[in-house]
Amino acid sequence: MPGADRLTTALDRVLELVVVLSDDMSRGLAREGLTTSRATLLWELRRNGPATQRDLADALGVAPRTVTGLVDGLVDTGFVTREPHPTDRRAFLVTFTEHGARTIAAMERDQRGFAELLFGGLPAERLDCFVAGLDDVLGRLREQGLSPEIREEDQ
């Protein structure tokens, strides 16, 4: 096991990185008029395409009523719309509006640019080790029941 100084130094570096990433993300989302939870839902739509609110709740691991609040907010601000489901008259598909599609495309460009800024100069082997280390740490956190979640108050 690494010495205590190495462990706390590693934690200090992670905390410093968290502050930088959090500040950057907060500024970017504020520019777009989004909360973290709403942005998470938009990323899910981008990954998997139009979805029912039930499917979104399952994918995000939250209660359906949480997704209802998020989608209501995103509809009200023009990012998504609810369209009739083509085969289930009781359901609606959450889809991007033109504004929402432009916004998520811009967010993807910003994400790629920031990733290049952070990691572009690292040799592939060091980046692979960094990612593997993060995977290990995140796995340990998940085993302890510590993982990101969408908060209802962030709707």
3 state DSSP class of 88: coil
User: How many helices, marked H, and strands, marked E, lie in the chain?
Assistant: 6, 3
User: Using one digit for the tens of pLDDT, what is the confidence trace for 64-115?
Assistant: 999 999 999 999 999 999 999 999 999 999 999 999 999 999 999 999 999 9
User: Using one digit for the tens of pLDDT, what is the confidence trace for 1-33?
Assistant: 567 799 999 999 999 999 999 998 899 899 999
What are the structural domains of the chain? 24-154 (1.10.10.10)
State residue 124's pLDDT score.
Answer: 96
Predicted confidence (pLDDT) at residue 146 exceeds the cutoff of 90: no
Single pTM value for the model: 0.81
DSSP state of 153: G
- The tokens describing 88, both together, are 């289930």
